[in-house]
C-alpha cells in the first residue's frame, strides 16, 4: 500500500471515530480546549489564526475567545486557489462571514490580510511525532512552510483524542505541528 492510500485509510477511520462523537462530547471538548489558552505566549501584537469548524471538527472558538481576551488579534483562513497557501484575514467575533471553497467560511474581502503568529489547524488525524493528516489538499502544509520561511510561527493542531493514530506516514513536504490540543490535554512537540 502506498503512502497516499495509507493516509486515505487512516483519514477515513479517524473521521469515522470523530463523526461518532455526540454533541455533549463535542461541547465539553470545545470548553476544555479553551482552558489551554495559557500555554500560548500572547502580546498585543499576537495574531491567532483559527478556523470556523465544519464537518464535525473540534470547535476552536472558545479557545479563540480566551486568546482574544488576553489581547490576541484573531484571523480566519481564506482558500485562494488550489495548490496555493492559505491567506488569513482579520476577524472579530460577530463580523460577517462569506462562504468559501470546500464548505469554509471566512471574512469578507474588505477585511485586511494579516500574518499569524499562532495557527490553530484543523485535522483529520495526528500522531505523537507531530505529524498530521488533513483533508488531502495540502493547504496547511504549504501555508506553514511559507509562514516558517518568513519567521517564527506556532502550529497547533486542534482535534479530539479519538483522532490520534499510531503513525502518520510522512512526506518531506508535510509540515510538522508544534502542539496538538485535545480534550485529554495538550501534546507539546517543541521540546
pLDDT digits (tens, 9 = 90+) for 115-125: 999 999 999 99
Domain containing 119 equals 3-188
Distance, in Å, from the CA atom of 189 to the CA atom of 191, rounded to the nearest integer, reads 6
pLDDT score of 177: 98
Digit-coded pLDDT (tens) for 71-108:
999 999 999 888 899 999 999 999 989 888 888 898 98
When the pLDDT of each residue in the chain is averaged and rounded to a whole number, the result is 94
C-alpha cell at 55: 464537518
Specify the CATH number for the domain of residue 168.
Answer: 3.40.50.10420
Question: Total domain count for the chain?
Answer: 1
This prediction's pTM: 0.95
Digit-coded pLDDT (tens) for 8-42:
999 999 999 999 999 999 999 999 999 999 999 99
- Element of type H or E holding 116: none
pLDDT greater than 90 at residue 52: yes
Q: b/e for 28-67, b at 16 or more Cβ within 10 A? A: ebbebbbebbeebebeeebbbbbbbbeeebbbbbbbbebb
The residue to which cell 460577530 is assigned: 94
Digit-coded pLDDT (tens) for 173-188:
899 999 999 999 999 9
Amino acid at each position: 500500500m502506498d503512502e497516499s492510500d495509507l493516509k486515505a485509510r487512516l483519514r477515513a477511520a479517524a473521521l469515522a471515530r470523530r463523526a461518532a462523537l455526540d454533541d455533549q462530547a463535542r461541547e465539553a471538548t470545545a470548553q476544555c480546549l479553551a482552558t489551554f489558552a495559557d500555554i500560548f505566549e500572547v502580546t498585543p501584537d499576537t495574531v491567532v489564526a483559527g478556523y470556523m469548524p465544519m464537518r464535525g471538527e473540534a470547535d476552536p472558538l472558545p479557545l479563540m475567545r480566551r486568546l482574544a481576551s488576553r489581547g490576541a488579534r484573531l484571523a480566519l483562513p481564506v482558500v485562494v486557489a488550489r495548490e496555493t497557501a492559505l491567506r488569513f484575514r482579520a476577524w472579530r467575533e460577530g463580523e460577517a462571514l462569506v462562504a468559501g471553497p470546500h464548505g469554509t467560511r471566512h471574512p469578507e474581502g474588505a477585511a485586511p490580510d494579516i500574518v499569524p503568529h499562532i495557527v490553530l489547524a484543523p485535522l483529520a488525524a495526528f500522531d505523537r511525532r507531530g505529524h498530521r493528516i488533513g483533508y488531502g489538499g495540502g493547504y496547511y502544509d504549504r501555508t506553514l512552510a511559507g509562514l516558517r520561511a518568513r519567521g517564527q510561527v506556532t502550529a497547533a493542531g486542534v482535534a479530539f483524542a479519538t483522532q490520534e493514530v499510531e503513525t502518520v506516514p510522512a512526506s518531506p513536504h508535510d509540515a510538522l505541528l508544534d502542539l496538538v490540543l485535545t480534550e485529554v490535554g495538550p501534546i507539546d512537540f517543541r521540546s
